[in-house]
Structures are given as C-alpha cells and as structure tokens.
Amino acid sequence: MDGEKAFRANVVALLPQLRRFALTLTRNRPDADDLVQIGCIKAIERHTQFRQEMRLDSWMYTILRNTWVSEIRKRNVRMGEGQVEAAEAPELRTDVDGHEETYGNQIIAMVMALPEGLSSVLLLVSVEGRSYKETAEILGIPIGTVMSRMSTARQRLRAQLEGGAN
C-alpha cells in the first residue's frame, strides 16, 4: 500500500500542471476540473501499469488527452453527429472572455483563443518545459508537427501582443 500512497501523493503534486493542460483541451473550468478528476481516478485505478522509467506527468497528460478525445466523441454521438476528429469538434473552440483585466489573464486568454492543437503544444513546451519529442509523444503527433505548431502559436501570440489581428 505504501507504493500506491506514494503514487497518489505524486499525482496530487501534479494537479496544477494537469489543470492547466486540461484547460487547453476543454476550454472551460468545469470541464477541465472534471477531466482532471476523471484522469486522476483512471491513473490511480491503473497505478500498477505505471513504470518507474516513465515520467508520471507525461503519462498523466496522455491519460487526460485520451480521456478528452473519448469524451468529445461521446458528446458528438449523443448529439447525433457521429464520430468526428477531436480537433474539428466545436467543443474545443471558445471565444475569449473579454472581462479579464490582468496582463497574465490576457495572455492566458490569448493562449486559450488559439486552436487546441496550438495551445496544447505551447503549454507543454513553453509552460511545462517539455521537449518537442516528449510533446509529440504525449499528443501522439509527429515531432515536425510540434515544431510547426509552436512556430505558428508564437507568431499568433506575437501578433496579438503587438496589437495585430490573428
């Protein structure tokens, strides 16, 4: 039981990072909180599958991403839309809340306004400090796509910060 207890403590220590990542996927706090909770439950239930040579944070990001993709597909089926690519699902896009007043919140809003693929890559690389290779593995995309998305995300943020459009 000590191993499971230590595992749980390590998962709890990751909660702020997991919540930030979940926000880039879900685009709203209630869904992000639900996603983190579901992801943590799945991780704890499957803690015996985790290997010491693996990075817990990367493993958790993958669980969250896969759980969210499944949720999007379920929602689309419930709405009679059948299965669609998660990147094309309307649930992954929202308008920026214009009432945020602090510079930090403005930056977060700009990041959240980016398409999910760009914001997730930007968060994992720039905020969480993941390498391009780790980010590619977490998101299940080629490393070249990670590099391209990072470049695009940076260009869009720079343009917004300089007062330009998109």
Domain layout of the chain by residue ranges:
1-94, 96-166
Residue 81 pLDDT greater than 50, yes or no: yes
Here the tokens at position 5 are 């207890």
- What is the CATH topology of the domain spanning 1-94? Rna Polymerase Sigma Factor; Chain: A (1.10.1740)
Higher pLDDT residue, 162 or 2?
162
pLDDT of residue 69: 87
Start-to-end C-alpha separation, the chain? 51
pTM exceeds 0.85, yes or no: no
The domain defined by 96-166 folds into: Arc Repressor Mutant, subunit A (1.10.10)
Find the Cα–Cα–Cα–Cα dihedral 108, 27, 154, 140, rounded to 10°.
140
Query: Which pLDDT tens digit goes with each residue over 48-59?
Result: 888 888 889 999
> pLDDT band at residue 112, thresholds of 50, 70 and 90?
confident
Q: What is the mean pLDDT of residues 33-45?
A: 94
